[in-house]
Amino acid sequence: MPDATTFALFVAAALVMLVVPGPSVLYIVARSIEGGRTAGLVSVLGVQTGALVHIAFAAVGLSAILASSAVAFSVVKWLGAAYLIWLGLRRILGRDEGDGEVTVEPAPLARVFWQGVVVNTLNPKTALFFLAFLPQFVDPSRGAAWTQILLLGAAFVILALCSDGLYALLSGTAGGWLRLRMKGASFRQTQRFVSGGILIALGAVAAVAGKD
């Protein structure tokens, strides 16, 4: 398992990244505005269920890489750090498709849940994110990689449930105000710069740390 310091760094990095709204949060906000707080919270559960699918795949895939070659696992970590930096630069310099207005139609809660699952499960960027982010905090010398990946992934989902749940509650209560904020050009620009800067910093720290 990761040591206490590494785990604390992971929690801090995850929290900083989660408080900056991304495409999934925009979907949750849209659901909450349309269907109220209950629909928003159900969409949060759906989105994070989809995240669990990606985490499971990451655990299996990264463990297979480590089993075949420790050097290959190190390469994955370096590529992950480079991908985080590239993703941050892309968010700052370009227009992300998540910047546009998100609209949803009213739907039963069961459909809201499964749509959230599908939205996140079928998003290849989510898969790439977990493959790039989670290995930065895995230490093969401290146990099986797959258990560390699952632990870190579970912690990320728990933090995301709290963060996204707060967005759902706030947007369900003050939908009109948040809708204007989410659609504002200046708000979206600030969002891109903050989230992009966080990703670049995380990737740079991972690279400078000289992962094994």
Predicted pLDDT at 144 = 79
d(CA 4, CA 192): 31
Phi-psi region of 210 (alpha: psi -120 to 50; beta: other; left: phi over 0): left
CB 212 within 8 A of CB 142: no
pLDDT for residue 146: 82
pLDDT at 160 (0 to 100)? 93
What's phi and psi for 163, nearest 5 deg?
-65, -50
pTM: 0.70
**Domain residue ranges of the chain, discontinuous segments joined by +:** 7-98+105-137+155-208
Cβ neighbours for 72, distance < 8 A, ≥ 6 positions apart = 65, 66
- Residue 119 makes CB contacts below 8 A (sequence gap 6+) with 24, 27, 46, 47, 50
Sequence-distant (≥ 6) Cβ neighbours of residue 78 within 8 angstroms: 207, 211
pLDDT recorded at residue 70? 61
pLDDT of residue 164: 92
Mean pLDDT by 10 residues, the chain (212 residues): 83 83 75 83 93 87 67 69 75 60 65 84 76 81 83 93 91 66 58 66 62 43
For position 210, what pLDDT does the model report?
46
> Helix (H, G, I), strand (E, B), or coil: what is residue 167?
helix
